[in-house]
Structure 1
Amino acid sequence: MGKILVLEDEESIRKFIKINLKRAGYEVIEAVDGEEALQKSLYESEIDVAILDVMLPGIDGFSVCKQLRKNDKQIGIIMLTARTQEIDKITGLSIGADDYVTKPFSPSELVARVDALYRRVKLLKKNKSDYFMQGPFKIDLKGRQLYKNGKIIELTPIEYDLIYLFLMKPNKALSRNDIIDSVWGKDYFGYYKAVDVNIRRLRKKIEDNPSEPKYIETVWGYGYRWKTN
């Protein structure tokens, strides 16, 4: 699995994150402040994802985020923010972070976010590109945008996550539970109908004839499959 940098000054939280990431199969590099995180990012080879706390003594998480993004365009970055600080989320995403997790958080949610970002990072490194092509579709992995035959298709965040999941797993039958875990997170307790509703909306945007879908195939009694042939 991948290598994850965890920058968190509170030891109990840092150890909690490390334990759960190691259980998921990741190698974990710890840093207690921004200076140590930047130093380790230079000397540790192939860090795939960095988890950065925003509030830190000395160099804060935003400054570390900007420097990491400057040094490595492909590294995945997740910011840890306080639940009440909406501006932290906006600031983090605007300076190069890929995602954010609010405190307090569940370990399954954090690992799911890391898993999703790690897959994206590995794909970027494999293709050495910010784009992924499949048939008439082109997905902009950094800009989170989808194109069909060169024309942009406006998607909601959920719709983008759905199309990304399908494109990464072509011709594989995905259960509704698989889709919920990957897109909504393992802590989601809503109805399976959310999957069907969003698939229906997505088909209207990407299919030539939504009533006879060519790409998103229904696997009756189970879920959906992305067809490439």
Structure 2
Amino acid sequence: MKYKRILLKLSGEALMGEQSYGIDINRVQQYAKDIQEIHSMGLEVAIVIGGGNIHRGLSAEKAGMDRVQADYMGMLATVINSMALQDALEKNGMKTRLLTAIKMEQICEPFIRRRAVRHLEKGRVVIFGAGTGNPYFTTDTAASLRAIEINADAVLKGTRVDGIYTADPEKDPNAQKFEQISFTEVYEKGLNVMDMTAFTLCQENNLPIVVFDMNKAGNLKKLAEGEDIGTIVS
């Protein structure tokens, strides 16, 4: 195995599948099976999911909503997605724990770093919900922060594209893919990998980021085994 402990970052939009809104249960089940594959091989797995399939704070702010209120709504959306994935993981035989940055005692545990690490050591899949618990921070930043806190070996960012390109491959057919790129090069080329706060956190703590296509079944296992899937930023 290439890694011992990883943090998997999933976008909320990816959970929509072919729908225009909400949660596609088939997509969530596919993700759960992929995660179960690497977990059964002994990999310690922590997960952060976005909430863009339900609510986006920035979009709501542009429509006239107070940014802080909108961001807290977005945090609650990530908890809904986390609960959906938790259910799918447990149906695949995994033991899980959902830890959130906002207290919700009836459905999850509060985030405590030592408790999260202990859950991972005991073989549980740990899902971090509600972002950092603070407005103005994205779930990318939450993923980077939690990965550093639990001493993960890498952040694996599962998207619908198979890596980092010179331009948006869905819009520009001539876009060239990077197999590997440095943090400095990403800055210089102005590439959109994560938001700047999240990206800087990873750079300052020497935490590699791997961007890959999560929607292709089996990619996560190949990546965990060391195959050159996606693009690595290091």
TM-score, normalising length: structure 1: 0.33
- Which structure has more relative contact order (CA 8 Å, sep 6+)? It is 2
Radius of gyration: which is bigger?
1
TM-score, normalising length: structure 2: 0.33
